[in-house]
Structures are given as structure tokens and as C-alpha cells.
Amino acid sequence: MSTKHIGKQTVILQKPPSIVAGASVVGEKEGNGPLRRCFDYISNDSYFGEKSWEKAESVMLKQCFSLVANKARIAPSDIEYIFSGDLLNQCVGSTFALRESGIPFFGLFGACSTMAEALSLAAIFIDGGFCDCAAALTSSHFCSAERQFRHPLEYGGQRPPTSQWTVTGAGALILKSEGPGPYVTHITTGKIVDAGVTDANNMGAAMAPAAYDTLKTHFEDTGRKPNDYDAIVTGDLGGVGREVILDFFAADGMDLSSILMDCGLLIFDTETQDVHAGGSGCGCSAAVLASHLLPEMTGGRWKRLLFAATGALMSPVTTQQGESIPSICHAVALDMNREC
Amino acid sequence: MSTKHIGKQTVILQKPPSIVAGASVVGEKEGNGPLRRCFDYISNDSYFGEKSWEKAESVMLKQCFSLVANKARIAPSDIEYIFSGDLLNQCVGSTFALRESGIPFFGLFGACSTMAEALSLAAIFIDGGFCDCAAALTSSHFCSAERQFRHPLEYGGQRPPTSQWTVTGAGALILKSEGPGPYVTHITTGKIVDAGVTDANNMGAAMAPAAYDTLKTHFEDTGRKPNDYDAIVTGDLGGVGREVILDFFAADGMDLSSILMDCGLLIFDTETQDVHAGGSGCGCSAAVLASHLLPEMTGGRWKRLLFAATGALMSPVTTQQGESIPSICHAVALDMNREC
């Protein structure tokens, strides 16, 4: 076992890399939500000037990538690696967004956990001395996701109360070996957990066991307790999944209710925005991290954050074939103090 | 720039990890090809005992993963990370194969470049001290790919001469920090290259510019020449793409014809097996690497190999929307000598 590895699934970074910039681009509905003042750009055109929603998603992600490079005050050519993926079949949101970037590219598929996966890999590359600067990004688009995973938009299918609303949004981060923080200090990489849930309209319930598994392992591996964090933020369990994970921890005698937030509940007002159980999609946790969670840290309100993005690793075909929903959750600890 | 980074896109590993085992499982057609004696298991049932081709692909990959752990004489629980992905929408070939593994999982999407991407990341994790043992694996299945990317199997669409045949196969590797080799010494991570090819029946031509870009960069970054390798093996350009890349290098005054092989041409006999331009699919380069290329090294015939897997990063939707085909190639240098 290497010295950087502690417990079962966690690595401690020796020279914690700094997130030096984050950027977010979202759609109109997200721009009307509680975080409306936090996003870098809100588009009122769901097509982002393009002729299809798939092209729109790529343009949105490309715009977000330009924004984050500008905010970090670096030329894209100074970025040594990009880690990116998305929900579209064959991850074409990312590949078409970045095809002109000229930057070495690692394509990822982690469903809605993608930002945590990309952030983990970018931090590990820098900590390991393989590069000094890397980008982590991802996107989702309500319309491209809806027609791929569910129904044609025109069909107007009814949505059950447990369903979540795919966020139209992109998030991007730039990490460097040196910077003012937040620093990536610990990474707990998730294993796939399949609790047997088969209802593709209840992703929160399907993903909650994976989030519980990773968070529990993180606490065991690090010896930390929930209250050692100013916030623990999952993404995206929504209202249903959040209740499930709180129940799991309650059975262990741990009350996380005051500290556990969820990106899917932060980005929308579930009372007024008709999103049922909350937001979802790769872009949800990515945009919330870039627009809201990181500024809470750099603004001095939070010193330590555990970001735990969750993904449902199914496809419409597996659901049609009667399969349950394998899920995953990757947790990344961020700290304003590099020597934590 | 970190000390491990040389040139534009290459890292040199300081403590080159060893590939300690490779395993392959293929279908009947592959089992009738030139490498028939090399595979660990050949299934004459395209369903692998399952009720759908998607489930068959997962079972094949799961079987391959069990085999490689056995060959490495380790318990799956000793594997600290798995890097895996495939061609199926949302990479469900991998996620369903590995949902019971209990091993921290990074999902990848690199299309047919996936084995090189997974191998790169596994080696970097070990070299960087983040783990001692990792697995890299991937799969493809002719029938699940055909109906997802092209036509229902029953339609029997005619295939143009430039088309390639998706391999039914899986390949898996185990890497450790110590072992007898081959060692992973250099990694040149590809950037996305889009040369404007729009014909989804000519992936070789679409991917050849990406392979040329990565190989040329690898030679520039490392100062190595093609003849410093006993073999340079792309996967999978097929016959058409191979001619294109040879032409590109010829224009640079370099003749690679005697040293450049392609996994898509190694796995099938293109004269007799009716596969047109050759094999393709994530499983092609993965199975050829595990079954043929690595044994050429451990058997003493080759001392140094450059494995350069290529991927076409499109989807049926992007092709239908008139887009060209972005491609990528990741190159990994393997050496029987650790101090190269």
C-alpha cells in the first residue's frame, strides 16, 4: 500500500493542488433559481444559437471553458490536460466542445458524478507531478438529455414526484500546483453500488446507497467526522435521495441533517420551479460547485467542504431490459488550509 | 512544467509500473482469425449465455476481469482501482460488468482508444504513488455496437469496403508497482483531432490524422525515432487508415511501413474473413494487446513497443446532424528494460 493511500479507498494529496478558477454557464430556468446571482453566464436561448440541443450543449461547455481560462488568466495552451465527459451517448457534448482546444484530453464517463471524477483525476495528476495545470469540466442540457433518456420533448410526458430535472448547465475548474486555494486534500473514489432500484424516475433512491457508501468510507478512512466539515454537499440526490441517505446515517446514530446539502436542491427552488425532487445532470453539481460552493470557500464562509457527486450508471437500454441502476459517488475534500 | 513532463504531451514515468498479467476473451469470428491460439477464451455463443447482446458484452468483460486476476494470482480485492469504459451508450458494458466488484472505479470514454487511456491512467496512478495495483480493461461486441451505431442486425445492410468490423472481445490488464515487465515508460496523451471526415463508414481515414499527430508528437517529445521500437502498433486504423498514416509520414520523409502494425489488421485475416478494412472496437486493441503484443514482449521477441490506440469520438446523432468525426490517439511506450 502506498503512503498516499489511507484506509480502503482514499488518497491524501501530499502537495494539495489549488483550484484557481471556476466558471459556470446555465440556461434560463437555472438562471431564475436561487443561485441566479452566482453564475457567470445565463443564456435565455436553449439552443445557444445552434440548430440542435446537442450542438447547444457543446457550445455551452466550450463557452464555459473559455470563461474559466479567462478567469484563471491563463491561455488555454498553458493547460496541460483536460478531463471531461457528459451524459450524451459517446460523450459528444465534451468531445465536440473541445475538439479545437489542442489540449491532451482524457474522456470520462461518470454520469452526474463526472465533476468529482474529473476533479479527482486533475488533482492526482498535479499532485503526482505529471503536470502543473489541468482543467476539469462537464455539462448537461435538459433538452438533449430528455430526448435521449426519456421522451421527445414534444410528447410532454408526465413526470412522477420522485423524478429530477436535468440541469442545463456547464461547470469548469482550473487546477494548478500553486495557488490561494481551495486545495484538494483528500479523494475518496467510489465503487459501483447497485441496491436493486429499477425505477429510472427515482434516481435519488438509486444513487443514495452509493453516496452513503462513499461518505461512510471517507469518514472511516480519514478518521474525520461529519462536523469536521463546514458543509457536505452531494450532487445530485434531490429531495428523495437526501431523505434516504439521512435515514441510512441515522441508523448508524449519525445526524447529518444540518450539514448535508445537495446540489440538486441548491440550484432550483423545488417549491416554485416545478422540478419535482430537484435538479440533476452532470452540469448540476459542476455549475453549483463553480458558482456557489467555491465562492463560499474563497469568500471565507467555509473552510472545509466535502464535495460528493453521484452518478447513475445506467442507460435507457439497460432499463428497458429490466436491469437495476448501478450508481457511484466520488468524494473530494476541499480545504482553504493547505496543511490540514 | 513538472519534471515528469517532457515536450508537449508526454510524461516519463519515474518508477515504471509493470504489466503483470493480461487476459482476453473473444467471440467465434475472432477465434477463427490469425490470433486464434493466443486468446484466453473463445465463446462460440454470441450471447455468452445471456438474453441480450448488451448483457453478453458485460458478461464477457466480467469473465475477462476474473481471468486476468487469476493469471496475476491476486484477489480482486487487492486491486485498488479499475479504469474501464466501452462503446455502449453510457458505458454500460463496463458498469454492469463491474457493479459487483467492490473496487474503486473510474469510468472512461475514449471509444476504441479506451485501452490506451485506461493503461495510461493506471500507470500514472501507480507511478505517482497513489496505488500499488490497478486494472485497465475494456470491451466491444459486434452485435451490440452494430445495432447501436448502424442498423438492426436483421436488416443486413451492405457495408462499404472502407468499413471496419467491430470486434467481439474484451481485454484486461493488471499493473503493479513491481514486476517482471513489460514496463510502462512513456505516455503521450492525445489531443482531439478533427480532419473533417464525415463518412462514418470510413473511421480509418477519420482517425489516421489523430494517430499521426500523437505519434509525431511522441517522437518529437522523446527524441526517439520509429526504429527505436521493435513495433509500433496502432488500433484500429484498419487497412485504409494505415495507408493514410503511412502517406503522412512519407511526406515527412519517414518510412514506417516495415514497423507499423495495426490491431485491426492483426486480429482478422482481411482476405478471407469478410471484414473489409479490418477490425475495430474497444475490444480489438485491448484483446490484441493482451493476447499477442504482450506475449511478444514477455516471450523475448520484442524489447520495446509503442501501443497507440485510436478512437472516433462521434455518435450516431452527431453524424445524423452532419458533423465530422473528432478523433483521438493515446500512445503508451512499453519496455522490457525498466531503465530505458
Task: Judge whether residue A247 has pLDDT over 90.
Answer: yes
pLDDT at A218: 98
Nearest CB among B108, B130, B318 relative to A109 is that of B108
Residues B145-162: what's their mean pLDDT? 90
Interface probe with B: pick from A90, A141, A150, A330, most Cβ of B within 10 Å: A90
Nearest CB among A9, A51, A99 relative to B326 is that of A99
Question: Amino acid identity, residue A14?
Answer: Q
Residue of A nearest to B127 (CA): A128
Report the mean per-residue pLDDT for chain A: 96
pLDDT at A156: 84
Residues A228-240: what's their mean pLDDT? 97
Rounded Cα distance between B254 and A4, Å, is: 44
Domain boundaries, chain B: 5-176, 183-335
For A4, A113, A217, B95, the CA distances from A7, given in Å and listed in that order, are 10, 22, 8, 24
The 3-state secondary structure of A280-302, one letter per residue: ECHHHHHHHHHHHHHHHHHCCCC
Question: What 3-state DSSP class applies to B318?
Answer: helix
- pLDDT tens across B242-262, in order? 999 999 999 999 999 999 999
Residues B52-77: what's their mean pLDDT? 97
Rounded Cα distance between B265 and B268, Å, is: 6
**What confidence category does residue B156 fall into, taking pLDDT thresholds of 50, 70 and 90?**
confident
**What confidence category does residue A1 fall into, taking pLDDT thresholds of 50, 70 and 90?**
very low
pLDDT at A340: 67
Rounded Cα distance between B123 and B136, Å, is: 9
Task: Judge whether residue B84 has pLDDT over 90.
Answer: yes
- pLDDT tens across A28-70, in order? 999 999 999 999 999 999 999 999 999 999 999 999 999 999 9
- pLDDT tens across A100-129, in order? 999 999 999 999 999 999 999 999 999 999
Rounded Cα distance between B21 and B10, Å, is: 25
- pLDDT tens across A132-165, in order? 999 999 999 999 999 999 989 888 888 899 999 9
Q: Which residues of B touch A85 (CB under 8 A)?
A: 107, 109
Smallest Cα–Cα separation from B94: which of B23, B172, B152, B26? B172
Instruction: Take residue B280 and report the three cell numbers written for it.
Output: 475495430
Rounded Cα distance between B196 and B324, Å, is: 5
HSE at residue B208, side-chain half, CA atoms within 13 A, is: 20
The phi and psi torsions of B252 (rounded to 5 degrees) equal: -90, 5
Rounded Cα distance between B175 and B183, Å, is: 9
In this prediction the ipTM stands at 0.98
Q: Which residues of A touch B192 (CB under 8 A)?
A: 95, 98-101, 105
The hierarchical CATH code for the domain B5-176 is 3.40.47.40
Residue ranges of alpha helices (H) inside chain B are 28-31, 53-71, 92-97, 114-127, 142-149, 203-222, 238-251, 263-266, 282-288, 294-298, 316-320
pLDDT at B1: 47
Query: What's B108's DSSP letter?
Result: B
Q: Which residues of A touch B110 (CB under 8 A)?
A: 106-107
A29 neighbors A13 (Cβ within 8 angstroms)? no
pLDDT at B273: 97
Q: Which residues of B touch A314 (CB under 8 A)?
A: 90, 92, 95
Indicate if B183-335 has the same CATH topology as B5-176. yes
Q: A183-335 is classed in which CATH architecture? A: 3-Layer(aba) Sandwich (3.40)
Element (H, E) at A317: helix A316-320
Percent of chain A with pLDDT over 70: 99
B158 neighbors B190 (Cβ within 8 angstroms)? no
B273 neighbors B32 (Cβ within 8 angstroms)? yes
Q: Which residues of B touch A99 (CB under 8 A)?
A: 192-194, 313, 326
Q: Are residues B96 and A323, on separate chains, in Cβ contact within 8 Å?
A: yes
- pLDDT tens across A89-103, in order? 999 999 999 999 999
Report the mean per-residue pLDDT for chain B: 96
Task: Judge whether residue A230 has pLDDT over 80.
Answer: yes
pLDDT at B158: 87
**What confidence category does residue A2 fall into, taking pLDDT thresholds of 50, 70 and 90?**
low
B237 neighbors B30 (Cβ within 8 angstroms)? no
Q: Are residues B124 and A125, on separate chains, in Cβ contact within 8 Å?
A: yes
Q: Which of these ranges, A89-98, B25-34, B147-156, has the smallest mean pLDDT?
A: B147-156
Residues B226-234: what's their mean pLDDT? 98
For residue A161, the tally of other CB atoms under 10 A from its CB is: 10
Q: Are residues A87 and B90, on separate chains, in Cβ contact within 8 Å?
A: yes
Distance from CA of A272 to the nearest CA of B (A): 32
**C-alpha triplet B252, B257, B263: angle, nearest 5°:** 115
Percent of chain A with pLDDT over 90: 95
